[in-house]
């Protein structure tokens, strides 16, 4: 039972068969290859982006580590038995505001992430003028002991117009 076909029909069947084979090859061979290639290119782009981020973070980490080493060397240069409370009291005497101290409240806190202990002194200066406050703040901020003013609130004294009151939160790292 052989099918008898003329040349044109045979050519049509061969062309149709080749088209079917080409379509099958395209859908099962080329399309998956192109899809995998596209996926790999996307993954490569993500990996490159991750690598660039890691390089940036490495540089930032190196800067922070270097800064940390510098601060540790500065902290190690402090006098033995350094306390923030005594330091601020000495600066108050130097700047002439020691008689205007209303109160000084020392406290400590520990950063939960880095486990670094901070020493904090809240102090109120009452009945001082702006130049006295400025000279005291200058001594605090420019000391070699890495002490800084965390918060400052200034208010005018009620009756006197030429004097002010200031509440300072001064902080440093305990070593």
Q: Which residues are within 8 A (CB) of 126 and not within 5 positions of it... i.e. 6 or more apart?
A: 100, 101, 102, 157, 165
Residue of 133, 131, 132 whose CA lies nearest to 154: 133
Rg (CA), the chain: 38
The answer to whether 79 and 172 are in contact (CB under 8 A) is no
**pLDDT tens digits, 73-123:** 777 777 788 888 999 999 999 988 989 999 999 999 888 887 888 899 999
Domain range summary for the chain, segments of one domain joined by +: 7-77, 84-173
Residue 162 has pLDDT above 70, yes or no: yes
Question: Is the pLDDT score of 160 beyond 70?
Answer: no
Domain 84-173 has CATH 3.30.70.60: yes
What pLDDT, on the 0 to 100 scale, is given for residue 46? 96
Contacts 24+ apart (CB under 8 A), 97-100: 97/125, 97/128, 97/132, 97/133, 97/136, 100/125, 100/126, 100/127, 100/128, 100/132
| pLDDT tens, position by position, 23-81 | 998 888 889 989 999 999 999 999 999 999 999 999 999 998 888 787 777 777 777 88
pTM: 0.61
Nearest to 105 by CA among 91, 90, 119: 119
Q: Over 90: is that where the pLDDT of 144 sits? A: no
3-class DSSP assignment, residue 68: helix
């Amino acid at each position: 039972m052989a099918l008898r076909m003329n040349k044109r029909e045979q050519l049509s069947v061969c062309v149709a068969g080749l088209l079917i084979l080409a379509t099958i090859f395209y859908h099962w061979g080329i399309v998956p290859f192109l899809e995998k290639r596209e996926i790999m290119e996307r993954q490569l782009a993500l990996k490159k982006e991750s690598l660039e981020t890691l390089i940036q973070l490495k540089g930032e980490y190196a800067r922070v580590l270097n800064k940390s080493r510098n601060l540790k060397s500065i902290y190690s240069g402090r006098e033995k038995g350094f306390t923030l409370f005594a330091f601020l009291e000495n600066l108050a005497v130097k700047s002439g505001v020691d008689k205007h101290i209303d109160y000084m409240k020392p406290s400590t806190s520990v950063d939960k992430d880095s486990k670094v202990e901070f020493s904090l002194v809240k102090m109120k200066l009452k009945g001082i003028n702006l130049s006295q406050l400025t000279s005291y703040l200058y001594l605090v901020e420019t000391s070699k002991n890495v002490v800084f003013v965390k918060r400052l609130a200034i208010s005018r004294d009620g009756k006197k117009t030429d004097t002010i009151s200031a509440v300072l939160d001064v902080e440093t790292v305990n070593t």
